[in-house]
Amino acid sequence: MSFDLSVFSNKNIILAVTGGIAAYKSAILVRRLKDYGFNVRVVMTHGAQAFITPLTFQALSGNPVHTELLDPEAEAGMGHIELARWADLVLVAPASCDTIAKFAAGLADDLLSTLYLATKAPVWVAPAMNQQMWAAKPTQRNLNTLVEDGVHVIMPEAGSQACGDVGLGRMPEPEDLAEQVKNYFHQAQRAIAEKFGLLAGKRVVITAGPTREAIDPVRYISNHSTGKMGFAIAAACYSAGAKVTLLAGPVSLDTPNGVRRINVSSAIKMLDESMHQLEEGCDVFIATAAVADYRVAEVAEHKIKKAGDELNVSLVKNPDIVATIAQQSKRPFMVGFAAETRNVEEYAAGKLVAKKLDMIACNDVSRADIGFASDQNAMTVFFAEQYQMEKRDLEKASKQEIAQQLVEAIHDALNHKIEPV
């Protein structure tokens, strides 16, 4: 699944590194957290500096490394208070047996233990130690105290250790820890979106990509649609709090995080699945798919062999998916798309009325800079007459930005419909 990593750019992580051979993994962990877009500051105990240098973490994080409780360069010399207020999450990895004991006892004799007491941010610890130290009753007692105090303990892994022992005590791999941090913030943001997002509580169904209409077992009719716009809209709807189902034609794109994806191939199958989704319940139907207008009347059972200079194939018209859904008695809010090469706005306005849509977005796919394969788009949005809303011109931008503007337009229309008297 794909994530929009820009959502983490305003999240601040303090990575606290304590004494232990696993400190070398923490350098990789900084890189992985930075890859996800987090702001990272590193706190090191004196024991940690025996295994790896502060300069390493400064180079990787892009920020000064904090090692002393009383910092003459910090505001009023109270560096631990500044850090405590800055953090959205404190991750102690590796967390030594000594640090865990200090946390449990409430000691405050160094920067990290004082920071632990001073922060309101969630605190996670990833213990790393000898297997016997891990199993010792005082260590387990201290860990239970931390859990009772609301600290999230990431269980160590089993395996061979630097001392030669085998057992529990290895710090999880940096990639796994970074993934857990990412998922934590994503879930927190999702909870907010489901309550306060522009499409909170809405169930959205989106069609995206091309369809393929078989000629024989190895050949088909299709088009140049990549599905990028539809997938971007699916991600934007999910970020806005909606429950999203994506009916995807044959495209090579990662499924947006949190989105339910159903793969289809032909126009008939896409219509069947659309009707099924309508039966399950749908508040908003967004038809971005470039559905083939025609299909082969009779698909050959076997590969057609080359014979002569011409091959005649009989085509029949495919059903119009968006118009069919719009005609249903329990129709959702209908959003259509018009990809045209000329008279774009004229054709789009006509489709809006003819297909009984609530909203339509159109663009000129003859333009190389915003065509099917482009990462950018520019659109004009029209609304049905009953919404009494003026058309919107969405200037050229990334498809992600255009998708967000379309979500805003849908939200505005849903909240401005003028009901007949």
Annotated binding site: 293, 303, 319-322, 337, 351, 355
Question: What DSSP character marks residue 150?
Answer: T
Indicate the SS3 state at residue 377: strand
- What's the rounded Cα separation, in Å, for the pair 43 and 400? 36
E-assigned strands of 209-298?
A: 213-216, 219-221, 243-248, 260-263, 284-287, 294-296
Cβ neighbours around 69 below 10 Å, total: 17
Q: How far is CA 256 from the centre of its chain?
A: 6
The yes-or-no answer on residue 163 being catalytic is yes
- Among residues 97, 163, 282, 362, the one annotated as catalytic is 163
What is the C-alpha separation between 274 and 276, in angstroms, rounded? 5
Residue with tokens 């000329």: 342
Please name every residue paired with 284 in a beta bridge, in sequence order, or none if there are none: 204, 333
The neighbouring-strand residues paired with 160 are 166
Helix, strand, coil percentages for the chain (3-state, nearest 5): 40, 25, 40
CB within 8 Å of 144: residues ≥ 6 apart = none
| Biggest alpha carbon–alpha carbon distance for the chain | 89
Looking at residue 300, the DSSP 8-state letter turns out to be: -
Among 290, 300, 156, smallest CA distance to 218 is for 300
Annotated binding-site residues for CTP read 293, 303, 319-322, 337, 351, 355
From first CA to last CA, the distance across the chain in angstroms is 46
Q: Which of 421, 420, 354, 401 is nearest to 382 (CA)?
A: 354
For residues 149 and 367, give the distance between their C-alpha atoms in angstroms, rounded to a whole number. Answer: 59
Closest CA to 247 of 235, 261, 234: 261
What is the set of active-site residues? 163
